[in-house]
């Protein structure tokens, strides 16, 4: 059985300053836990009640954040892509943030099983004055089963526009063994995990102390590379390679702690149910 899953969320701010989902619709395998306001952002947990992503699945997510609204979209468990006899699974993500809006997208990691093929396309459009913190996490497979770096094909595409201007376009297109070679160059072992983080805010146009603190995370088995994106949008791209999932989580937690003084919406807890 294959799924053609669809998730559409539109967030707006009320007169009392709290964010609500003005519109929502979803179709299996997507499901939403009850969203709630934590004082900083509206926490939205996206749940996949099925075993995971299977051959032939087509998933589409559309998230729109209005002016003044603040949303954290996360998930309670990893997204697992299972072995495929033929064909592949695909996911398309489209996010938009209006001026004065905030979106944090911080799901649990993607885990690719042996013999899987998966393509993910992410398009982010941020208006001038909008803010986003986007994190894409990847684990090498089922480590406990000795099934790491065994997927056949992974393609992750990311396009970022700010104020309608193309700021970033990148693509990772590698098999498991090819990405394992990259992890080996970084000195990471069999359980190496990756993160690609993009954050945009007018508050970040000029590097502050936070930049030096993030750069200083490089070391103790963690590779961290921080780059400022083109233009005056206040955009940054952080690449992380960690020796395991625990180290990756700890590093991302530290990144959010470093940035929360400048981006106070990061005070929300992405793991709290």
Q: For every one of its 273 residues, what pLDDT tens digit does the chain have, with 9 covering 90 and above?
A: 678 999 999 999 999 999 999 999 999 889 998 999 999 999 999 988 677 899 999 999 999 999 999 999 999 889 999 999 989 999 999 999 999 999 999 999 999 999 999 999 999 999 999 999 999 999 999 887 888 899 999 999 999 999 999 999 999 999 998 888 877 766 667 889 999 999 999 999 998 999 999 999 999 899 999 999 998 899 999 999 999 999 999 999 999 999 999 999 999 998 754
Helix runs in 16-143, H state only = none
Nearest residue to 247 via CA among 148, 154, 137: 137
The per-residue pLDDT for 262 is 97
Asked whether residue 105 is assigned to any structural domain, the reply reads yes
The per-residue pLDDT for 170 is 97
Number of compact structural domains in the chain: 1
Structure tokens at 200: 């945009």
49 phi, psi to nearest 5 deg: -75, -5
Asked whether residue 125 is assigned to any structural domain, the reply reads yes
Asked whether residue 273 is assigned to any structural domain, the reply reads no
Bridge-based pairing of strands 223-228 and 235-242 is antiparallel
The per-residue pLDDT for 180 is 85
Q: CB atoms < 10 A from the CB of 177, how many?
A: 11
Residues forming a β-bridge with 198: 134, 237
The per-residue pLDDT for 181 is 81
The per-residue pLDDT for 113 is 94
Q: CB atoms < 10 A from the CB of 199, how many?
A: 23
How is residue 109 annotated by DSSP?
A: P
The per-residue pLDDT for 166 is 97
Domain range for 125: 4-267
Asked whether residue 189 is assigned to any structural domain, the reply reads yes
CA 226 to chain CA mean position, Å: 16
Helix runs in 78-166, H state only = none
Asked whether residue 204 is assigned to any structural domain, the reply reads yes
Q: How far is CA 268 from CA 35, 38, 42, 116, 257, in A?
A: 13, 7, 9, 34, 11
The CA R_g of the chain, rounded to the nearest whole Å, is: 18
Rounded distance between C-alpha atoms, residue 225 and residue 28, angstroms: 37
Structure tokens at 62: 């559309």
Rounded distance between C-alpha atoms, residue 217 and residue 9, angstroms: 34
Rounded distance between C-alpha atoms, residue 74 and residue 41, angstroms: 12
The per-residue pLDDT for 185 is 66
The whole-model pTM stands at: 0.95
Asked whether residue 183 is assigned to any structural domain, the reply reads yes
Rounded distance between C-alpha atoms, residue 140 and residue 90, angstroms: 18
Asked whether residue 170 is assigned to any structural domain, the reply reads yes
The per-residue pLDDT for 1 is 63
The per-residue pLDDT for 272 is 58
Rounded distance between C-alpha atoms, residue 68 and residue 231, angstroms: 24
Asked whether residue 193 is assigned to any structural domain, the reply reads yes
């Amino acid at each position: 059985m294959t799924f053609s899953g669809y998730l559409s969320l539109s967030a707006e701010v009320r007169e009392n300053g709290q964010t609500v989902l003005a519109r929502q619709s979803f179709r299996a395998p997507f499901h939403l836990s009850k969203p709630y306001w934590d004082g900083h952002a509206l926490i939205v947990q996206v749940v996949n009640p099925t075993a995971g992503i299977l051959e032939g699945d087509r998933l589409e997510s559309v998230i729109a954040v209005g002016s003044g609204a603040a949303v954290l979209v996360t998930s309670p468990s990893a997204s697992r892509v299972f072995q495929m006899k033929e064909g592949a699974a695909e996911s398309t993500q489209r996010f938009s943030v209006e001026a004065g809006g905030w979106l944090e997208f911080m799901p649990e990691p993607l885990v690719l099983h042996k013999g899987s093929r998966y393509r993910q396309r992410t398009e982010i459009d941020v208006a001038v004055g909008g803010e986003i913190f986007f994190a894409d996490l990847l684990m090498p497979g089922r480590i406990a089963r000795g099934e790491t770096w065994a997927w056949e094909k992974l393609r992750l595409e990311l396009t970022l526009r700010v104020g309608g201007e193309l700021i970033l376009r990148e693509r990772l297109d590698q098999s498991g063994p090819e990405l394992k070679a990259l992890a080996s160059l970084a000195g990471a072992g069999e359980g190496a995990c990756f993160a690609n983080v993009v954050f945009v805010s007018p508050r970040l146009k000029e590097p502050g102390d936070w930049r030096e603190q993030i750069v200083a995370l490089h070391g103790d088995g963690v590779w961290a590379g921080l780059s400022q994106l083109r233009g005056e949008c206040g955009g940054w791209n952080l690449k992380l390679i960690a020796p395991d999932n625990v180290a990756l989580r700890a590093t991302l937690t530290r990144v959010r702690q470093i940035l929360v003084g400048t981006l106070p919406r990061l005070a929300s807890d992405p793991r709290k149910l």
